[in-house]
């Protein structure tokens, strides 16, 4: 009989020292596993602390962490367009979403993405965009399984270990709670 695992996703504005330590460990595990963030090699703790500390200071970003049995094992960012970008004010970017390899298989990635989507819809955002390396097969399966539509391929998206890697671009239409339907608000979207 397997034990029930405690899972949660929360939006945070401050990371406690023990959560920052967990996040840095999870990030390096994901990087070593080919996870991304643009890094190809594990980073120093101080570099990751500066990175995540800086993210928490950016006004147009919201930061989410995923926990497994109380330990931070992943994160994601919801990035809104700058305030002066009125033409894209209804959109957001889902970025740097990951779960550490040792915490996969419990449904946390799905929970993390859905929580970001819920927050975006609550803010009145109607479209989430994201991009991913073509080599990140589990992330691609996750996003496509959650209803994201692939709209494009970039043949020279990234370089890793001497190889050029394609990237895929996705979007997902959101419905805003209590508001007009997205179709009514934006017109027909393919």
Q: Tens of pLDDT along 110-135?
A: 999 999 999 999 999 999 999 999 99
Position 37 scores a pLDDT of 72
Position 77 scores a pLDDT of 98
Q: What is the mean pLDDT of the chain?
A: 93
Position 157 scores a pLDDT of 95
**Which residue segments constitute the domains of the chain, with CATH numbers given?**
7-186 (3.40.630.30)
Q: How far apart (Å, rounded) are the C-alpha atoms in residues 65 and 19?
A: 9
Reduce the secondary structure of the chain to three states and give it as a string: CCCCCCEEEEEECCCCHHHHHHHHHHHHHHHHCCCCCCCCCCCCHHHHHHHHHHHCCCCCEEEEEEEECCEEEEEEEEECCCCCCHHHCCEEEEEEEEECHHHCCCCHHHHHHHHHHHHHHHCCCCEEEEEEECCCHHHHHHHHHCCCEEEEEEEEEEEECCEEEEEEEEEEECCCCCCCCHHHHHCCCC
**pLDDT band at residue 1, thresholds of 50, 70 and 90?**
low
pTM of the model: 0.93
Position 131 scores a pLDDT of 97
Nearest to 8 by CA among 93, 94, 106: 106
pLDDT digits (tens, 9 = 90+) for 37-50: 788 899 999 999 99
């Amino acid at each position: 009989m397997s034990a029930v695992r405690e899972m949660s996703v929360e939006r945070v504005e401050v990371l406690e020292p023990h959560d920052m330590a967990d996040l840095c460990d999870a990030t390096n595990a994901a990087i070593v596993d080919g996870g991304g963030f643009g890094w190809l090699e594990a980073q120093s703790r101080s570099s990751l602390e500066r990175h995540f500390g800086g993210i928490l200071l950016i006004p147009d970003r919201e930061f989410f962490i995923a926990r497994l049995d109380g330990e931070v094992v992943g994160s994601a960012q919801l990035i809104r367009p700058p305030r002066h970008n009125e033409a894209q004010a209804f959109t957001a970017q889902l970025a740097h979403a990951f779960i550490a390899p040792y915490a996969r298989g419990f449904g946390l990635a799905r929970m993390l993405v859905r929580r970001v989507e819920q927050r975006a819809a609550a803010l009145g955002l109607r479209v989430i965009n994201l991009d991913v390396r073509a080599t990140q097969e589990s992330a691609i399966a996750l996003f496509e399984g959650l209803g994201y539509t692939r709209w494009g391929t970039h043949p020279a998206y990234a370089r890793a270990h001497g190889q050029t890697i394609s990237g895929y671009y996705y979007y997902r239409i959101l419905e805003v709670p209590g508001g007009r339907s997205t179709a009514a608000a934006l017109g027909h979207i393919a």
